[in-house]
Structure 1
Amino acid sequence: MDERRLSVKEIREFMAAELFFGLLLFLRYYEAWVNLMNGTVLAFSYKYGFISRGLVGTFYQWLDRVLPFDMMRYQAVVNYTLIVTMIFYGVMAGFFVLCLRRGAGQIRYIILFFTIFMVPFSAAHFNFGRPDVYCLMLSTLAAVLLIKERTQWLVVPIAAVGVMIHQGNVFMYLNIILVLLLYRIFSSSGKRRRYYVILLIASFLVASALFLWFELFSHGGGQAIYDEVVETARHLTRKGNIHEDLVDKEILGIDLTDREVEDHRANFVQFAFFALMMLPYIFFLVRFFRELIRGAATAADRWKYVFVALGAGTMLPDMLLKIDYGRWMFAIIAYYCVMLLALHAMGDVCVRDAFARTLERVKTRPFPALVMLMYPLAFQPFEDVSINSVTEGLADLVNEGLHLGWW
């Protein structure tokens, strides 16, 4: 197993192959259009007050004022979203290089695996321009700060900005920041530990306060701004249509639970199939974390690894109360990939060795190992409400074949 650090030449060669692979995936899944949800949200702006999901729209409309061309049209939205997506890929590539320079060569498998999910997810129209892309990018930048131990106080405003982009970030990608801070707390002592405790508390409180504001108190003037928001959105979306549920929820504060009942049922059935599809990776993670936690030398080490193992549990409220299981499943995969890469980059020998031993068991059977790495290509891209086309098709077969009539 390649537990050594790679040379500069090896990193360059791998990243060249990684970028070429990513380009092929992008060309395969890029559809060059922004769906109603991701176009409508750009009409939300802080000129209407401190409203939910208003940050990206505020920035976009500021660009319209300062740039010498019209941004308030659909094609400009497509071009802007493409640029943001390229920046996202650049940030993730930089993160990969940082981890390769500091970690063991074995993390190349994690990078390739993550790329198979990440590029189709962000390129296909379902999530092209989705706030999730911004939020994952921000949490990854926070991970870089914590890895390099520089200007780490910035994780607090990063946590805040993530929630201002999408309040659901408290469940989706904020866990990367919080768990890495917990990891640092259990790995340090004295003043350093107190510093990380302060950062953890501040990040949690700021994100929680913003979440409560956007969910409970930001809709008071919704009726007054509704018509203007809708009219603006019509200029930014394909064929002038808007995502009415999004406007109802975020501007008017309408509870969409009744509208989402059938989608919830479909999601639960799809999730059962998805869990079966992902069983090899679930077994891999369970074995890895079991070995990691059992091998911890101290109680503090055990606790930090337990938090890492359970960190994706922040997704449970979304899974129980909301739809969009495609986004939730991608967020879980992104969490474990980013965390494993970050811990390797932080020089955690226990993580490196436990991962190497678990990976070695897989690689003793070359064909199954190759299939395990590449098999996710068969069910890309992850969507939004549905997980992917495979789980959607299987769930529909059950619903129609058994005449359940659930959706």
Structure 2
Amino acid sequence: MTLAGHPFAKTTLEKYSQAGKGLLLLISLYLLCPGSPSYLWTSENIGRFDAYLLLVTLAAIICCFHISSSWLRLILITLASLIALSIHQAFLFLFFPLLLTLYFIAAGGTKMSKLHMVSTCAAIAVIGIVFLYFQFFSHIRIPSCEELISLLSSRTDLPINEVALNYEYFSTVAQSSSDLVLNLLKERIRYGLVTLFLLSPLAILYLYVWFHILKAASKKERWFYTLLLLSHLSFIPAFLLTIDWGRWFGAFLTMQVLQIIILAAKKDVPALSSLHALGGAFRKHPYVFIAAGIWVGSLHKFQATLLPDAPVFFTSLYKIYRLFF
């Protein structure tokens, strides 16, 4: 998987001279898009736990790059995951693909021993058990929503959403699903489809990157990258069980770019090959990527529920059009 263990190990990095430009392009489009880290400070997202989940994840990633012992890395990833779960259980849905990537790289990738594989699976199982405990068996020690609001109001001057707290901590799953998830479901699906359309340049970009990763991987290693792709399905429960689709879209885009960065930083040959191809595509068709940057950069950042109304985007495009015509 890495340059040292891949069949292309004898190939010099000069073959992937465009990989750095491809990675820079990927990061640039991510920073322009509605899911860049600044979405965490929009009016509906500020004060939520998502920022802490991202910080814990980034800390684990950075530490893993500075620790040589695979066992220490496995322990560190597990501890970081447990800390993140104790902050918010949504971590398992949002950052599991990154968690899986770090685990497999720490355990040796496609060259991992049986002991490392068993240890990795055991660690993931422990995280799953802790998630189930936090989700279904833990509770806060405050008897009513009114007392919780009073306590929080004494500690912060941020606006407190009483409805959200009531459904989060004091309502049953059936009641929350009936009142929130199933209510206006068609409306959210409609806006979700509009959001997917607005994010289509990024969707095409990530499909391009992953297609070339799978294409460059050997048959013996393709299972690893297929598994990483399948891990993206962990986001589905978040969309099905809650209404904060804007948060999940933002986290998904963040996870995607971080996953590619991790692979590239580890000198993963299929990832470098894919980014090299992306850099070459930019050199041949720069205006396509510039147009994509203008497209995603014209969108507002994600709020908690969904992307701001589509007319905002089209108004922005019209203003840009009027600058030249």
Please confirm whether the aligned pair reaches a TM-score higher than 0.5, indicating the same fold: yes
Cα pair 2:103 2:120 within 8 Å, conserved: yes
**Uncovered stretches (5+) of structure 2, i.e. residues with no partner:** 1-13, 315-325
Cα pair 1:171 1:317 within 8 Å, conserved: yes
**1:312 aligns to what?**
232
Q: Give the C-alpha shift of residue 288 in structure 1.
A: 2.6
The answer to whether 1:115 aligns with 2:26 is: no
**Uncovered stretches (5+) of structure 1, i.e. residues with no partner:** 6-102, 395-407
**2:319 aligns to what?**
none
The answer to whether 1:138 aligns with 2:60 is: no
**1:386 aligns to what?**
306
For residues 263 and 164 of structure 1, do their structure 2 counterparts lie closer, same or farther at Cα, with a shift above 3 Å needed? farther
Partner Cα distance (2:127, 2:204) in 1 = 33
Of 175, 180, 201, which residue of structure 1 is paired with 2:122?
A: 201
**1:164 aligns to what?**
86
Alignment of 1:150-229 (within 5 A): 150=68, 151-152=72-73, 153-185=75-107, 187-189=109-111, 191=113, 194-195=115-116, 197-202=118-123, 204-219=124-139, 222-223=142-143, 226-229=145-148
**1:230 aligns to what?**
149
Cα pair 1:183 1:304 within 8 Å, conserved: no
Q: Give the C-alpha shift of residue 160 in structure 1.
A: 0.6
**1:342 aligns to what?**
262
Q: Give the C-alpha shift of residue 186 in structure 1.
A: 6.5
| Counterpart amino acid of residue 334 in structure 1 | T
Alignment of 1:11-30 (within 5 A): none
Partner Cα distance (2:185, 2:54) in 1 = 24
Q: Show CA shifts across 1:39-71 (max 9, x none).
A: xxxxxxxxxxxxxxxxxxxxxxxxxxxxxxxxx
**2:197 aligns to what?**
276
CA RMSD across the alignment: 2.9
The answer to whether 1:264 aligns with 2:185 is: yes
Cα pair 2:77 2:102 within 8 Å, conserved: no
The answer to whether 1:249 aligns with 2:170 is: no
Q: Show CA shifts across 1:57-109 (max 9, x none).
A: xxxxxxxxxxxxxxxxxxxxxxxxxxxxxxxxxxxxxxxxxxxxxx8343222
Partner Cα distance (1:372, 1:393) in 2 = 13
Alignment of 1:16-95 (within 5 A): none
Partner Cα distance (1:318, 1:120) in 2 = 21
Partner Cα distance (2:112, 2:227) in 1 = 21
Alignment of 1:282-293 (within 5 A): 282-293=203-214
Cα pair 2:77 2:103 within 8 Å, conserved: no
Partner Cα distance (1:387, 1:263) in 2 = 16
| Counterpart amino acid of residue 168 in structure 1 | A
Matched residues, number = 292
| Counterpart amino acid of residue 85 in structure 2 | V
TM-score (normalised: structure 1): 0.64
For residues 226 and 319 of structure 1, do their structure 2 counterparts lie closer, same or farther at Cα, with a shift above 3 Å needed? closer
Cα pair 1:185 1:196 within 8 Å, conserved: yes
Q: Give the C-alpha shift of residue 227 in structure 1.
A: 4.4
The answer to whether 1:298 aligns with 2:216 is: no
Q: Give the C-alpha shift of residue 236 in structure 1.
A: 4.1
Q: Give the C-alpha shift of residue 206 in structure 1.
A: 3.2
- 3-state DSSP class of the match of 2:183? helix
Indicate the structure whose relative CO is greater, using CA pairs within 8 Å and at least 6 residues apart. 2
Cα pair 2:212 2:274 within 8 Å, conserved: yes
Cα pair 2:201 2:296 within 8 Å, conserved: no
Partner Cα distance (1:131, 1:254) in 2 = 22
Partner Cα distance (1:391, 1:308) in 2 = 35
- 3-state DSSP class of the match of 1:320? helix
- 3-state DSSP class of the match of 2:92? helix
